[in-house]
Amino acid sequence: QVQLVESGGGLVQAGGSLRLSCAASGRTSSTYAMGWFRQAPGKEREFVVAISMSGTKSYYADSVKGRFTASRDNAKNTVYLQMSSLKPEDTAVYYCAAGCSGVGCHDEDNYDYWGQGTQVTVSS
């Protein structure tokens, strides 16, 4: 089993920045590619970014391209999401996910493990 714990969420004004962290523990060798998803109240959970095991390849949703940057530090078993130029539309609970084999990692159904989420609120 893999356990994921997100942190770094909070309240920020539009145009500001936040960095989310996701610490993995357990059988981290089974995490494969990792991803970030988000879910706003009353909306479906949506894909944000997927990052390869090595951290050299990332795939971003169009809505966050140029504003969000994913990275990972395998020595620390941690993946990060640096968010800048935040908009009110970015307000959501952000979830870290792990276990995608590398195919279809934009689809939440292809992940095996999920964190509990961290709230990001962007005020106007």
Contacts of 104 (CB under 8 A, 6+ apart): 110
The three-state secondary structure class of 82 is strand
The C-alpha torsion from 41 through 47 and 53 to 58, rounded to 10°, is -130
pLDDT (0 to 100) of residue 62? 97
pLDDT (0 to 100) of residue 1? 84
The one-digit pLDDT tens for each residue of the chain (124 residues) are: 899 999 999 999 999 999 999 999 987 666 688 999 999 999 999 999 999 888 889 999 999 999 999 999 888 889 999 999 999 999 999 999 999 987 899 999 999 999 999 999 999 9
pLDDT (0 to 100) of residue 102? 79
pLDDT (0 to 100) of residue 103? 85
pLDDT (0 to 100) of residue 29? 64
pLDDT (0 to 100) of residue 76? 87
